Amino acid sequence: MTRREKQQLIDQGHLLPLMEEFYTIQGEGFHKGTAAYFVRIGGCDVGCHWCDVKESWLPELHPATETTKIVENAVKYSDIIVVTGGEPLTWDMGPLTEQLKAKGVQTHIETSGAYKLTGKWDWICLSPKKVKLPTEEVYKEANELKCIIYNNDDFKFAEEQAEKVNKNCILYLQPEWSKREKMMPKIVDYVMANPKWKVSLQTHKYLNIP
């Protein structure tokens, strides 16, 4: 396969830069505590300074993997497949999700929403970032909004984002892990004063699992 042919397959979503895949417990948001198979796709230029998987940013560091192989492996473990990153919407998610849906599994995505929404999803977790805001389409389709609280200004940002999502979207505030001791009491007070919000924690880190 030539480099050009390979790039065409990547652009079409038939090859994806696969960083890692693993069976674990969903630690965050609405489905926390649920067993799921995670597929982490490399590639992200959003560039959050507190990102805990910065090794995912450069797609060329991760092998371009056939979506058919990703699907074949994933469905052996779970009927819930969570696609995360990096930023998975950097790539066309159509071929991957079409094959997963053909296998009868649920498809979940964790995304900043910064790029065009592609793929067929049963659940969309939108975690917007200030440096590259979500598209209007993702706001409309999101099932849950997860805003990361790193400092006090993030509460204002969270409210701005909550105004843009659909009325059925579940709203979560989640402390950035390195700031959890400082920000958690503030989040608790904020949610009690603004009960449209719920608290999300990275429970997988407390459980010491991936």
**Which tokens go with 104?**
């009868």
Count how many Cα atoms sit within 13 Å of the Cα of residue 13 in the half-sphere of its side chain.
15
- On whether 121 is known to bind a ligand per the annotation, the reply is no
- On whether 84 is known to bind a ligand per the annotation, the reply is yes
- On whether 119 is known to bind a ligand per the annotation, the reply is no
- On whether 78 is known to bind a ligand per the annotation, the reply is no
- On whether 50 is known to bind a ligand per the annotation, the reply is yes
- On whether 86 is known to bind a ligand per the annotation, the reply is yes
CA separation (Å) from 109 to 1, 52, 120?
Answer: 30, 18, 10
Quick one: CA dihedral 50, 174, 205, 169, positive or negative?
negative
- On whether 51 is known to bind a ligand per the annotation, the reply is yes
Q: CA-CA distance, 129 to 48, in Å (whole number)?
A: 7
- On whether 26 is known to bind a ligand per the annotation, the reply is yes
- On whether 169 is known to bind a ligand per the annotation, the reply is no
3 state DSSP class of 112: coil
Q: How many CB atoms lie within 10 A of CB 6?
A: 12
- On whether 48 is known to bind a ligand per the annotation, the reply is yes
Closest CA to 173 of 192, 43, 164: 192
- On whether 54 is known to bind a ligand per the annotation, the reply is no
Tell me the binding residues for S-adenosyl-L-methionine: 50-52, 86, 127-129
| Annotated binding-site members for [4Fe-4S] cluster | 44, 48, 51
Residue numbers in the known binding site are 25-27, 40, 44, 48, 50-52, 84, 86, 127-129, 210
Q: What are the binding residues for substrate?
A: 25-27, 40, 84, 210
